[in-house]
Amino acid sequence: MITNDTALAVTALASGKLCAIPTETVYGLAANALDESAVARVFAAKERPADHPLIVHVASAQDANEWITELPKWAVELSAAVWPGPLTLVGPRTDLASDSVTGGQDTVAVRVPSHPIAQELLSQLKVAGIKGLVAPSANRFGHVSPTSAQHVAADLGAYLSANGDLILDGGDCEVGLESTIVLATGSAPVILRPGAITEADIERITGIKISTTATATPRVSGSLDSHYSPSAKVVLIEDETTAVFEPKSGFLALAMIQTPGELVRLGSPATIEDFAHDLYGCLRAGDDLGLEKIYVVPPVGEGLVQAINDRLQRAAF
């Protein structure tokens, strides 16, 4: 069921099967975006509520035009600068985007992933006449997103093998956190989900100050308070030198912070990038060890730190 064969994945997706695919952010559970029954099975596999919209993945910014009717100038500039890369734009939908993809909204989310295997897959599918793949993160709904093929198998392996679906193994995801989602329907960018493309990146590229409050309030499943959660209880620690810890719990912090007492060290990322890259794997490792609690010292700062802390707060909720 886990394969390295991109051609096999192309055939599977073109014939209505699902395939978990590597991207630079996290693994996605992909289906042909124009195949209603395959899209329905994505919701079934994840046990995801039907009103939560999906992201359409395409090979290039030009292909995004088939799904979004029109983007403001700033969004065109942003996509030109970042795509392929960890950015999702939400814009007014064309007739290609069905209600099952958009959750009945009049907007659609589109992204051009940069992972070389995702790029190759999308290009080959285009030749086969497939215009885009829906791909939500390939985890059980509400669980931590997968950053390796093994994570996908742990969450969805039983469903996928029972249905003849595939997991395409492209190694560890480089970023490790889901894409930045930007609402691109107004005169200024609105960040719906922080990610590796930061507020500062977007302001620099577009020359526009970010308006932080969403004028419309689209449904973003990642914005549910409890999301991205392992089974273990995640506890955020401000000061590890004064905090009281339950023994035999997990501990995750930057490498420069020492492990207090008898805690089980789950990760020692040296940099902020490593923290993002390792985070979900460390939370999953805590569950694999059967730990009841995982203490995390959140990194401090701007940029990617905001995305890390957004996910940590939801995991800890």
Q: Does 137 bind Mg ion (CB under 5 A)?
A: yes
Burial 68-92 (b: 16+ CB within 10 A, else e): beebbebbbebbeebbbbbbbbbbb
Query: Position of tokens 């290609």?
Result: 96
Is 28 near ligand TXA (CB under 6 A)? yes
Interaction partner, residue 181 (Mg ion, ligand TXA, none; CB < 5-8 Å by kind): ligand TXA
Which positions from 134 through 173 interact with ligand TXA, judged by CB under 6 A?
135-137
Using CB under 6 A as the binding rule, whether residue 130 contacts ligand TXA is answered as no
**Binding residue for ligand TXA (CB under 6 A) from 126, 131, 140, 219?**
219
Window 34-93: residues binding ligand TXA (CB under 6 A): 52-55, 88, 90
Q: Which of 23, 100, 114, 198 binds ligand TXA (CB under 6 A)?
A: 23
Starting at the edge strand found earlier in the chain, the sheet holding 250-252 runs 233-236, 293-296, 250-252, 264-267
Rounded to 5 degrees, φ, ψ at 266 are: -95, -20
Q: Phi/psi of residue 201, each to 5°?
A: -60, -45
* Residues 20, 284: Cα–Cα separation, whole Å: 18
User: Which of these ranges, 23-31, 77-85, 160-168, 197-205, lies near ligand TXA under the rule CB under 6 A?
Assistant: 23-31
Q: Which does 135 bind (CB under 5 to 8 A by kind): ligand TXA, Mg ion, none?
A: ligand TXA
- Among Mg ion, ligand TXA, none, what binds residue 25 when CB lies within 5 to 8 Å by partner kind? ligand TXA
Tell me the closest approach of the beta carbon of residue 130 to ligand TXA, in angstroms: 17
Q: What is d(CA 107, CA 190) in angstroms, rounded to the nearest whole number?
A: 14
Which lies closer to Mg ion via its Cβ, residue 136 or residue 299?
136
Contact 155, 143 (CB under 8 A): yes
**Whole-angstrom distance, CA of residue 17 vs CA of residue 160:** 9
The option from ligand TXA, Mg ion, none interacting with 23 (CB < 5 to 8 A, set by class) reads ligand TXA
Cβ(16)–Cβ(32) under 8 Å? yes
Residues that bind ligand TXA (CB under 6 A): 23, 25-26, 28, 52-55, 88, 90, 102, 105, 107-109, 111, 135-137, 178-179, 181, 192, 218-222
